[in-house]
Structure 1
């Protein structure tokens, strides 16, 4: 009787050992799968982090490029404004000379004054020469008597106005050209 009991105990112990081995094996298998999933997830997060850092570095480089480009355009705009101011100052110094050379034979702007007027507005020398015929003083109105205040503005006042208005227009034109240049040099923004 002891033998069957011993045999039953041995079978039970063997079954328990096999059962424990199965549980241990399942636990090890689960731990392996969990470690694999964790490693896969960590690699995916690392790739995503590296991708985001690369995108950020690219965006930072593009920001610096555009910032330098905007700075360059700003410097060019300031230089062109300074050149424009110098040109306008030089042209304004010619006002007394051209009104004197036109003389009193013109009741408004004479040919020299008109050329200067157009220069104030930014026309090139080639445009000025092509568009203005030579002066015909024989058809000019007589201006022997001084004009009344109601007769209009004297030529030097008209020229001073043209200088101010021309400078303003040319500054706007230069700004527009600078912004267009900036936009063309920074595509996709």
Structure 2
């Protein structure tokens, strides 16, 4: 009987020790896993912070480069517009010189240019060629063109007053060509700088 009790107590003690060992191991295992998890999380947070800082640095560098490029291109547009305006002023000063007199032969004394008659048809076609509005309201017969009808297609391609003097001079035509040329040059400068800016972003 005594021996049975000892064995029973011994079995109970072994069971308690086993349970205690399991509980202790479980607690230690939990703490170990928890510490490992916290360390891994801290590592991820550090990596994320480093990556975020690097991404911000790269974005700032790119922003500064694009801002600098934009500033340079804007200044180039301004400089070229000034050059275009200066050229236009020089050309406009030459208009009277090249539209009022001419030399019949090299070295001859300049004489007055004969008046060049620019017809209304010439002026209409000139404006139409530049996409400008015209006063095409009559047909070749002198009747008003029907509403919504292209005057060129109505009755004939000739208008009733096509051959009348428009009153425009060579100087007017040359000034218009210079103004339009300056506009074209400004558009080309802007186009080229926008292309440069787009290529700078790539």
Give the TM-score normalised by structure 2.
Answer: 0.64
Picking from 114, 131, 134, the partner of 1:105 is 114
Does the 8 A contact of 2:80 with 2:189 survive in 1? yes
State the 1:49 CA deviation: 3.1
- Measured against aligned partners, the alpha-carbon deviations of 1:36-76 in whole angstroms (never above 9, x if no partner) come to 12322331232133223312321221122111101110011
- Greater helix share, structure number: 1
Q: Distance in 2 between matches of 1:89 and 1:8?
A: 119
Does the 8 A contact of 2:117 with 2:165 survive in 1? no
1:157 aligns with 2:166: no
Does the 8 A contact of 2:66 with 2:201 survive in 1? no
Q: Distance in 1 between matches of 2:38 and 2:115?
A: 95
Aligned residue-pair number: 149
RMSD between superposed Cα atoms in Å: 2.5
Residue of structure 2 in register with 1:89 after alignment:
89
State the 1:176 CA deviation: 1.3
Does the 8 A contact of 2:70 with 2:197 survive in 1? yes
In structure 1, list runs of 5 or more residues that go unmatched.
110-147
Give the TM-score normalised by structure 1.
Answer: 0.68
In structure 2, list runs of 5 or more residues that go unmatched.
103-111, 119-162
Does the 8 A contact of 2:84 with 2:182 survive in 1? yes
State the 1:171 CA deviation: 0.5
State the 1:95 CA deviation: 1.1
Q: Which moved more, 1:171-180 or 1:7-16?
A: 7-16
Please give the secondary structure, in 2, of the residue aligned with 1:153.
coil
5 Å matches for 1:29-178? 29-102=29-102, 103-105=112-114, 107=116, 150-151=165-166, 153-178=168-193
Q: Distance in 2 between matches of 1:151 and 1:71?
A: 47
Residue of structure 2 in register with 1:27 after alignment:
27
Q: Distance in 1 between matches of 2:183 and 2:31?
A: 78
Residue of structure 1 in register with 2:148 after alignment:
none
Q: Distance in 2 between matches of 1:173 and 1:37?
A: 62
